[in-house]
Every structure is written in structure tokens, then in C-alpha cells.
Structure 1
């Protein structure tokens, strides 16, 4: 999966990234450098991508389980044909 950008994220995911930046800023007690901001953003984006992938994996498994299962009964085309002769 390609790396997410802030534009690709939902509002709640964007808010989560900004909250992480704020927490890091408070933890350091000063404004973050660009390198520190990028590192914090990348870590938050990686967590969001992992969460999305986990959700997608569950959805794929559910779709696979819901897919029509083959049965031992076969289609009988003769059952759908009328046995009465046409006049």
C-alpha cells in the first residue's frame, strides 16, 4: 500500500496526527524542528496505515467467507424443462 498523505486521510485521522504533534511539542517543551515533526508525522501515519490494513484484512476475510460455497448438489437442466410435448 502506498504511503498516506494528510489529504488522503479522514478528518479524525488528520486530527490524530495533529494531536501527536502537539503531544510531542509539549513533551519537548519547545517548538519541534522539521526533522522531529516529520518523524512524529511518519510514525502516526504508519499506525493509521496499519490500522486501515487490519480493517481491510478483516473485510476481505468476511467477503471470502460470504462467497457462495460449492455444494454437492448440481444444477439439473432437465428439471427446468417441461416434459409435456408442444402442440
Structure 2
């Protein structure tokens, strides 16, 4: 094995830098939503009502099934939870 270094797991497993960037963003949004649900003490049914989705959707979210969630879906769910998403763009390293 070589000594290849990646900035994130997404850089290692995705084909292109653009795909890796999208997955990093989706991952950050999903984790923020999971953290909010956990810290709010909501069960999955309660979270589903707040987010305007089904309980199985919340179950998928809590299990980290990132491939099932688009960026805009995650942003909409965060907004429904009363959270604000902020974006920072910087030059690539």
C-alpha cells in the first residue's frame, strides 16, 4: 500500500473532486440534522412530524443512509426543524 493521503473519506472513494464535495456537504447536513434530533429528544415519529416526512425516512436518516438524501431535501428538513444553513466557499487547497 502506498502512503496516499486524502483530506476526507469522500476524496478517497469518489471518482471526482466535484462528487467528493457534494458528498462532504450531504454528510455535514445529515449529521447536523441527526444531532439536532438527538439533542431535541425527539423520537422518530415526532421528528417525522416536525420535518414533514415519514417515520421510515427519519429512520433512514438516523442510520446514516446518505445515498437516500439529496442536498436540497436535507436543507428543507433542516429548515423545517428551525435550523439555518450557512455556506462558506473557499479556495481549494
- TM-score over 0.5 for the pair: no
Shorter-chain TM range is: 0.3 to 0.5
Larger Rg, first or second structure (1 or 2): 1
Q: Which has the higher contact order (CA 8 A, sep 6+)?
A: 1
Is the helix fraction higher in 1 or 2?
1
TM-score, normalization by structure 2: 0.31
